[in-house]
Amino acid sequence: MMRSVSLIEATNLTKVFRRADKGPGLRGSLRHLVERRFVEHVAVDHIQLSIDAGEAVAYVGPNGAGKSTTVKMLTGILVPTEGDIYVAGRVPHRERIENARNIGVVFGQRTQLWWDLPVRDSLELLRDMHGMTQSRFDKSLERLDAVLGLSDLLSVMARKLSLGQRMRADLAAALIHEPSIVYLDEPTIGLDISVKDRVRAFARHLVAEGTTVLLTTHDLDDIEDICRRIIIIDDGRLAYDGDLESVKNTYARDCSMHFQLAAGAPVASVSARLPEATVTLGDNERELIVTFDRFALSTGSVLNAVLPDGEVLDVSISEPAIEDVVRKVYAGELRLGHSNGEAAT
Amino acid sequence: MTGQSLDARAAGRQFRAPFRAYRSMARMALRSLVAYPVSFVFNLLASAFGALAMLYLWRAVLRNGGSAIGFDWAHMKAYLLITFITGSLVSGYTDYQMAFRIRQGDVATDLVRPVDYQRARFAETCGFAVYEAGTAIAVAACAAIAFGGVPVPPLRAWGLFLLSALLVLPLRFGVVYASGLVTFWTQNYVGVQAARIALVTFLSGAFVPLGLLPEWLRLTADVLPFAGMASTPALVYVGHLTGRAAFTAVAAQAAWSVALWVLARAFWQRASRQLTVHGG
């Protein structure tokens, strides 16, 4: 059935897993043999998703929030317990093979390379699986090589690769067939800074080329680098869906300035001059921290409020980051409103 | 009309592309075995010793020109060596690998590839089988020479024998694949595999000719696909199955091959719904 509203469209998407409920120790295991008890765990709970072609969306949530389960349903690996999914008009788990031709998937914690074969052989096997002609394959490999630097990896057995090399090779394996939709599930997990940068540059490159990217990650630097839209899920439920910049403007307004002063910090007098801000002492009595709403106060006015009270040796400013919002959501401090496409205010 | 012919063209293209995919998968499976020759040789030694024990046993039993259930020593040798070769096919790589990947959750990456899961596993099985058959035939040939040669069937029997031997592959695959799928429920495969090997070895006649079993067991093995997994080609080779009986037996092998394929596919439909892949 063709039904294309958005490229990726999920309504009431739900996955319930049944888990054995075993007591502790051998006794619990034995008891389970005669009296089988199970608990139901709702991993994904009535999620609505709508992603247009060419969008780059960050799918964020704490461990166990249901991110990977969602991706596995969107890719056709898992069958939803409830709800509908259409990816490019197809139901992924029913038309798994057809869907697989369209998509590229990277699971950061798993490799899709053949362990005992050189990387090139894995890529050639994928060429045959996707029915690519040799010339299209060569062109695609050349393109990937330019961004990922593959030439020195191609002849190496997958099991001999370092984690960073493996991730580069895995990205190539996931994208060799030039899919129009790419799911990146924790693509930077465990990688060092330089490889992370490379992976992010590659993801930006994909987005720039018009590929639709859904990125799940724990590393919030990934998000700001790559995506404009963010979807936060928590405990299987949608906590936020909207523009990255607006969520920052709405929920990450607090900016803080750290002052190193020559003498003891005048908390009371600065506080009196800046009633809208929170003024506290830092690690020592000569350090002053002013936390303020960046839309209510400017850094200049904060600076002016501190200068009359002492000699400033050093100033640093912490800009708000999406990380702060997400941390608050994870910690349960913030319940974001449901909104589609724009931030709740 | 135009839409229909476009569809037909697309279907044709989809059919051709996968064939290349499965052929490549078979080749890769073969190469991955070649990558670990030592472990393969050990596996082969283990089963070769089992076959040797049976050869010594039967040589003692059939000494001085004796015979049992229609086998003299020469034909028993041939029977045991043929069942050794067919028993080496689909020995356990396919299900072991499946079980490992299902348990670890790596099956997720198998499912994002544009190939049919069952056909892909069968393609790999064929790749493994080339290696398994090659080495088993070499070992059996050495054993045949060491034990003073084996009778060779008349040329006209070879066609049916080879067909019957070839059908061992889909038959054994059906059972091995279905038992591998059990991992979706059990998450552990060691017991399932041990039971599967014991059952198949016993009921296929790879251990002792089925004629030696009680009538009801022999019948069970004959009616179920087990006899076709070792006994049938061996009996065709030694000339105990000829004419109409041989054709019927080979036809039963073919019918069971198809039936097991279809049953396994239905089983997969249910098994894949059991899949839970947590994290990553």
**Å between A300 CA and nearest CA of chain B:** 46
Q: Which domain holds residue B170?
A: 20-272
A253-319 placed in CATH 3.40.50.2300: no
pLDDT value of residue B3:
43
Average pLDDT over residues B95-116: 89
Residue B279 inside a domain? The answer is no
Question: pLDDT grade, residue A58 (50/70/90)?
Answer: very high
Mutate to test the interface with A, among B102, B110, B113 (most CBs of A within 10 A): B113
Average pLDDT over residues A139-154: 91
pLDDT value of residue A343:
37
Q: Is B20 near chain A, with CB under 8 Å?
A: yes
Mutate to test the interface with A, among B109, B128, B268 (most CBs of A within 10 A): B109
For residue A280, pLDDT over 60 is answered with: yes
* Contact (CB<8Å) B31/A129: no
Average pLDDT over residues B13-23: 72
Q: Which residue of A has its CA nearest to B117?
A: A97
> HEC states along chain B?
CHHHHHHHHHHHHHHHHHHHHHHHHHHHHHHHHHCCHHHHHHHHHHHHHHHHHHHHHHHHHCHHHCCECCECHHHHHHHHHHHHHHHHCCCCHHHHHHHHHHHHCCHHHHHCCCCCHHHHHHHHHHHHHHHHHHHHHHHHHHHHHHCCCCCCCCHHHHHHHHHHHHHHHHHHHHHHHHHHHCHHHHCCCHHHHHHHHHHHHHHCCCCCCHHHCCHHHHHHHHHCCCHHHCHHHHHHHHCCCCHHHHHHHHHHHHHHHHHHHHHHHHHHHHHHCCCCCCCC
| Average pLDDT of every residue of chain A | 85
Average pLDDT over residues A20-26: 75
Q: Which residues contact B63 (CB under 8 A, 6 or more apart)?
A: B73
Question: pLDDT grade, residue B1 (50/70/90)?
Answer: very low
Q: Is B258 near chain A, with CB under 8 Å?
A: no
Identify which of B14, B18, B25 has the shortest CB distance to residue A125.
B25
Q: Which residue of B has its CA nearest to A105?
A: B112
pLDDT value of residue A264:
82
Choose the weakest-confidence range: A315-319, B72-76, B209-213, B236-240.
Answer: A315-319
For residue A85, pLDDT over 90 is answered with: yes
Residue B5 inside a domain? The answer is no
pLDDT value of residue B47:
77
Q: Which residues contact B89 (CB under 8 A, 6 or more apart)?
A: B129, B132, B133, B136, B168, B169, B172
pLDDT value of residue B277:
58
Mutate to test the interface with B, among A97, A101, A159 (most CBs of B within 10 A): A97
pLDDT in tens, A158-203: 999 998 899 999 999 999 999 999 999 988 888 888 888 888 888 9
| Of B118, B58, B61, B63, the residue nearest B83 (C-alpha) | B58
* Contact (CB<8Å) B24/A128: yes
Q: Which residue of A has its CA nearest to B27?
A: A125
Average pLDDT over residues A230-244: 87
The better pLDDT of the pair A325, B247 is held by: B247
pLDDT value of residue A334:
65
pLDDT in tens, B239-258: 999 999 999 999 999 999 99
The better pLDDT of the pair A33, B117 is held by: B117
Choose the weakest-confidence range: A35-49, A150-164, B5-19.
Answer: B5-19
Residues of B in contact with A78 (CB under 8 A): 275-277
Which segments of A52-162 does DSSP mark as H helices, in order?
A: 67-74, 96-102, 119-129, 134-148
Q: Which residues pair with A260 in a beta bridge?
A: A287, A314
3 state SS of A97: helix
Residues of A in contact with B102 (CB under 8 A): none
**Å between B218 CA and nearest CA of chain A:** 35
| Of A252, A233, A241, the residue nearest A63 (C-alpha) | A233
Q: Is B25 near chain A, with CB under 8 Å?
A: yes
Choose the weakest-confidence range: A15-24, A317-326, B20-29.
Answer: A317-326
Domain-by-domain residue ranges, chain A? Answer: 54-76+93-249, 253-319
What CATH superfamily is the domain A54-76+93-249? P-loop containing nucleotide triphosphate hydrolases (3.40.50.300)
Q: Give the number of residues written for chain B.
A: 280
Alpha-carbon distance A77 to A89, whole Å?
17
Percent above pLDDT 90 for chain B: 48
| Of B82, B90, B99, B85, the residue nearest B122 (C-alpha) | B90
Q: Is B96 near chain A, with CB under 8 Å?
A: no
Question: pLDDT grade, residue A234 (50/70/90)?
Answer: confident
pLDDT value of residue A180:
94
Average pLDDT over residues A54-81: 90
ipTM: 0.82
pLDDT value of residue A345:
34
Residue B8 inside a domain? The answer is no
pLDDT value of residue B185:
85
Domain count, chain B: 1
Percent above pLDDT 70 for chain B: 92
pLDDT in tens, B190-203: 888 889 988 998 99
A181 and A102 Cβ atoms separated by less than 8 Å: yes
